Structure 1
């Protein structure tokens, strides 16, 4: 389980390493282009329930922390789907228990 730290108050969101690795590529690409967008997720069942949304923009500090020492092999189809969602008016929405499919094409690093 990795962590996404957002903002100066170091708010932490636990995200599985594999999903976090895919999100990192999409988020970094959009922020590098100066594009802002929302990221939403459902809270874990053991939490109070509900969902959260954050506004991601280049001026807000963001840090990705992975439990694994080794980088994930990324699935380009998943990256494409996440990028498409991030570009939509609804923003990027994920379930934190999502499993990321294994690559069909080849690794993207």
Structure 2
């Protein structure tokens, strides 16, 4: 499973190579400007209850992206074709309080008021 590591620890969440490839490019641009962002994922708490967790990623923290290189049958996974519009969507989400959605079916902890 593709993963994001911060400070050497894997973040909870289910990530695809496609999502991580786009996130890596957007993160590099964000960090180059000296800014951080939230990556919001879901995981199971200690009691097994599903929870939403927002992780603060910042250029001062070591962040790594681990991609799947083989599929379940041992075949090689094809490289991801980057889509500029998807990178722009992630970059725009970095400017919001909820941050980037890192998991499908994510429950947002709050909404932005008007």
What is the TM-score of this pair, normalised by structure 1? Answer: 0.72
Say if 2:9 is the partner of 1:11: yes
> Which residues in structure 2 correspond to 1:1-109 (within 5 Å)?
1-7=1-7, 10-13=8-11, 14-43=14-43, 48-68=49-69, 70-96=78-104
Deviation at 1:73, TM superposition (A): 0.3
**Runs of 4+ with >6 A deviation:** none
Question: 1:16, 1:97 within 8 Å by CA — same for their partners in 2?
Answer: no
Question: 1:5, 1:63 within 8 Å by CA — same for their partners in 2?
Answer: yes
What is the TM-score of this pair, normalised by structure 2? Answer: 0.70
Unaligned segments of structure 1, at least 5 residues:
99-109
Deviation at 1:89, TM superposition (A): 3.1
Question: How many residue pairs get matched?
Answer: 94
CA RMSD of aligned residues (A): 2.2
Unaligned segments of structure 2, at least 5 residues:
70-76, 107-114
Larger radius of gyration: 2
